[in-house]
Structure 1
Amino acid sequence: HRRLGDGCFENFMAEKEDIRLSLAKRAKTLASAFSSLEGMTCNRVEGAIYAFPRIHLPAAAIKAAKAEGMSPDLFYACRLLDATGIAVVPGSGFHQVSGRNKATGTWHIRCTILPGEDKIKVMIPRLKEFHESFMNEFRDRS
C-alpha cells in the first residue's frame, strides 16, 4: 500500500499522472484526426482505450465490398491494413445496428489509442493519405 511519505510514492504518482495525460492526448489526437477525414465522425474518447469512428462510405465502396463478400467496414479495414499496415477492427464485429435504411446501415471502425504518441504522429498522415485515396477511388460520380 503506497502512501504519502513513502520513498517512491511521489515518483509513482508522477508516473501515473504522466500516463493519464499521455492517454488523454492520444485519445484527443486520434479522435480529431478521424473527425477531420471526409465522411468520418468520431466522438470524444472518454474512459476507454479505443476510438470508434463512424464511416460514411460511398455507395461504390459498399457495392465493391459486397461483390467481395465482405461487410463495407471490413472491406475498408482490410484495404487500410494492406495499404498502410494500420490495423483497425471493423465495427460489424461488434454487431452494430443497421440504420433505418438497411441498404446503407452504419459502419464503424475501432482503433486503439495505446500506441505511443510518437507512433500515432507517424500513423495519422498515412491514415489521411489512404482515406483520401480510398474516397477518391469510390467517390459517387453523380
Structure 2
Amino acid sequence: MSEAHYRKLERMYLSANINTQIFDTTTCKISDGEAEIGLTVVPKYFHALNAMHGSIYFKLLDDAAFFAVNSVVEDVFVLTKSFEIHFKRPVIEGKILAKGELIASAGDSYVAKSELLNEAGKVVGYGQGEFVKSKVALSAEIGYV
C-alpha cells in the first residue's frame, strides 16, 4: 500500500464530524495493516462515577482495528460487521492510545484486533472484530483527499 493512501485515510478520519465536534483531541497514524488512534481524556467523556464511559473504549478500539483493515483496502470503505470488547481497568485522566492490527483476511472479509493503552502503557481494554468491504468508493465525497 502507499503512504498517500494512509495519509488520505488519516485526513478522512480526522475530518469526520464526530472527531471535529466531539472528540477534538483525536490523533491518527495509519500504516500497512496497523493503525493508532489517540485521545486526551477529558471529563465530558465520563459516566456518573467520573471515569471514561465504555462507549469511548468501543469507539477507539473499533476505529483502530477498522483503519488497520482499511489500510490494506485502497478502493472502498470497509464496514464493521462485528466487534467484541473487553474492559480491563477504568480511565480517569491522561492520554490513551488504541493500537489496531490486521490479523487475517479471506476474500472481502478481514479480522483485526486492537488494544487500548493508558499513559503508563497498561492495557485498559482490548477487542477484536470482523470487517467487510462496502460498495462505497474511497473518494473526495467522503473526505478521502
Same fold judged by TM-score > 0.5? Answer: no
Normalised to the residue count of structure 2, the TM-score between the two structures is 0.35
* Higher share of residues assigned helix: 1
Q: Which has the larger radius of gyration?
A: 1
Q: What TM-score, normalized to structure 1? A: 0.36
